[in-house]
Amino acid sequence: MGVAPEPPRASCATAPPGVLKIFGAGLTSGANYKRVLATARFTARELVAEALERYGQRRGRLRAVRRAGPTGHGRHGQRRVAGGAPARAGRLGAPTAGAGAVARCLEQEALGAAVSEGTGAPSWRPQKNRSRAASGGAALASPGPGSGSGVPAGSGGKERSENLSLRRSVSELSLQGRRRRQQERRQQALSMAPGAADTQIVPADPGDFDQLTQCLIQAPSNRPYFLLLQGYQDAQDFVVYVMTREQHVFGRGGTSSSRCGSPGPYVDTFLNAPDILPRHCTVRAGPEPPAMVRPSRGAPVMHNGCLLLREAELHPGDLLGLGEHFLFMYKDPRTGGSGPARPPWLPARPGATPPGPGWAFSCRLCGRGLQERGEALAAYLDGREPVLRFRPREEEALLGEIVRTAASGAGDLPPLGPATLLALCVQHSARELELGHLPRLLGRLARLIKEAVWEKIKEIGDRQPENHPEGIPEVPLTPEAVSVELRPLMLWMANTTELLSFVQEKVLEMEKEADQEGLSSDPQLCNDLELCDEAMALLDEVIMCTFQQSVYYLTKTLYSTLPALLDSNPFTAGADLPGPGAELGAMPPGLRPTLGVFQAALELTSQCELHPDLVSQTFGYLFFFSNASLLNSLMERGQGRPFYQWSRAVQIRTNLDLVLDWLQGAGLGDIATEFFRKLSIAVNLLCVPRTSLLKASWSSLRTDHSTLTPAQLHHLLSHYQLGPGRGPPPAWDPPPAEQDAVDTGDIFESFSSHPPLILPLGSSRLRLTGPVTDDALHRELRRLRRLLWDLEQQELPANHRHGPPVASPP
């Protein structure tokens, strides 16, 4: 069977252009096909390049080019693999019968569109939006504008267009909308050009319109974003960086530097400048303003022209510089405006109100006049805001001055004044200075306090009578003398307790921020936390030592006054027993020394503003010592002489009740009742009438006085005075099961079983918000500020130094 001869073909020079359908499902997911107008001069490589541009691809392979000549039906067409040989449009197949009208309509529409735009090839090129959301991923794509569609000529154009629209695919119909949008954007671009209202501007190259429309970016309306003002590589940098999460991380990415080889930190926006760290900066913008910006350790970050070392507020319109190349402006359309009416980074207008005291010693005073800077500095030096600014080089001198002033007792600072001033130093370091500065400051601060406390303890010990040279009689301590000696230690205990609570809050904030940023395993952070723990351990040691020394001297004074509770008779001739809440002077003479020690300790803790938890524990230890000391004396008194009898027990019970009533009036009744329980039970046993006591058995007495040990109960019963020649009845003998506990048990209380010291939990009581209302604290704050000013002036040449400025009168 012979092969039919090939039908005659049109000449390459005279044949009309053909329309090729390029199927690109392998390039773009969900795409149908793109149409390419081909002439006889086109090569296959040029067609492939044109098709790739239509699909927004710069590199790749096009699997097949579908030839859709005048037929317009895919299943009748032919498929040709793209190669480097010329694709001659003149060799397209002849029209298929019955499809000539549709084919001519397609050709005229495509050719008309190309001619109307002044080019031989259509310019349906998708545009790349110059904005990026979470630039670690793909750029935000916007539908590319298409060229305007030409209208087929002839009287039957309308009918042919209607018939043609029934056969067009979704991809073809979307191209018409793209052409219209591109035409509208071009008109908008032309209207924005200078002189557009007076002059008709017609660029020679349609590509200029494409580049111009790329610059017409509409910023997001519901998310914060960063506007790039200066970048590193214009070809790769985007204009807008949108925040897609509440926490947005800028960085270079890359692998982690940790030894364990964990993956690199998560980064939302990749910046490829060489001075950008893998995790450079973090911005948190929640639903409510303000946003917060925090630099990573060692990352150069500028905020409104100032070097940013710690977390700071970020407001719309603020400038954020990352490294030496990138400069962004923060915008938040959710706030309802484009930012403040006047950006904070602009110099102040002439005659403007001087900035607040917080701007002193800051580069934010740049651009202001000499008088304005002087007024701002004077406002800071004399202001009442709880702010104490210093440079790292002045830290040692400042901390030493505060600790020395507190140790010497100079000035008239309030009780918690030293802790307040030291907390201001900690707060300034945590907010303004570099991330690694706070642990070093805490370590230096804790060592200074420990040295001052140790020196004070040594001074008090040297003044004690037992340490005097031989031959000098020992004088017992009085409550007044003990109060004077212990006041410095009690003040250090109160101040260190509040300072430790404040430091714990700052360390917890540091750990929380590290967890939020995913840096909990960072080696530098772990080292900082270890330094903070060491500093807090030193402060803890200071509290423990001052507490031990305080209760030691108080119990030492009590030891010489407590025996009077067992020996004195409250029923003196003509004296009435005082009621609850009586003054110390109204108490029986035998009880005044003991109650005087309690009153001196109570006044001392109140004057030093000791934490309530430590006040309770201090008196808990004093009552524990008093109970053990009195009970041991009671056990010792009954061994050698007749002491356990009803009349003596009634006197002891009355003295103990008067002491408990007085402590109840002082607000210490609950603590005293708890710690004096064992002594009270022992005295109650001795107060039982003799006739009733003789009827009781060992088991009933053990049940009624279970707080006493078997050895203590047996000691009291065996030495109880029943009368001349009468011994204890057999009913008081312990059973064989308890005989061993009676024989081996200790009748004396141990002083080593005292309750442990538990440091207070919760927030610090230091007040670091609002103006300083205490005049003495304000004077000390002003003195320290001027000290820092003098230290700064000493670094300048002699001809550049001057005294602190004075604010002009209003």
Average pLDDT on 741-769 reads: 90
- Give the residue-averaged pLDDT of 577-598: 88
How far apart, in Å, are the Cα atoms of 353 and each of 363, 375, 476, 808? 17, 10, 65, 13
* Res. 124 pLDDT band, cuts 50 70 90: very low
- As a whole number of angstroms, the distance between CA 742 and CA 799 comes to 88
CB 307 within 8 Å of CB 332 = no
Region 596-615: mean pLDDT is: 96
Residue 68 has pLDDT above 80, yes or no: no
Report the distance separating Cα 739 and Cα 743, nearest Å.
6
The residue among 255 and 410 whose pLDDT is bigger is 410
Residue 156 or 141, more confident: 156
CA distances from 497 to 167, 443, 486, 501, 609 (A): 84, 16, 16, 6, 11
Q: Which range, 14-28, 215-229, 595-609, is most confident?
A: 595-609
Helix, strand, coil percent content, the chain, rounded in steps of 5 = 45, 10, 45
Residue 804 has pLDDT above 70, yes or no: no
* pLDDT > 80? residue 606: yes
Given this model, what pLDDT does residue 625 score?
A: 97
pLDDT of residue 224: 93
Beta strands in 669-719 (DSSP E): none
Q: Token pair 């500093």 is at which residue? A: 535
The confidence band for 305, taking pLDDT boundaries of 50, 70 and 90, is confident
Question: In this structure, what token pair is assigned to residue 795?
Answer: 């670094």
Residue in the structure block whose two tokens are 């029986």: 588
Q: H or E segment at 686?
A: helix 677-687
List pLDDT tens digits, range 142-171: 444 444 444 444 444 444 444 444 434 444
In sequence order, what are the residues at sequence separation of 6 or more whose Cβ sits closer than 8 angstroms to the Cβ of residue 363?
Answer: 305, 306, 307
Q: What is the pLDDT of residue 651?
A: 94
Burial class (CB in 10 A: 0-12, 13-18, 19+), 69: buried
Question: In this predicted structure, what is the pLDDT of residue 254?
Answer: 61
Q: What is the pLDDT of residue 797?
A: 73
Q: What is the pTM of this model?
A: 0.65
690-699 pLDDT, tens digit each: 999 999 999 9
Query: Is pLDDT of 95 > 50?
Result: no
Read off the pLDDT of residues 344-400 as tens digits, 9 standing for 90 and up.
676 655 444 333 333 344 444 555 556 676 778 888 888 999 999 999 999 999 999
Give tens-digit pLDDT for 535-566: 999 999 999 999 999 999 999 999 999 999 99
State the average pLDDT over residues 318-333.
93
pLDDT of residue 794: 83
State residue 15's pLDDT score: 55
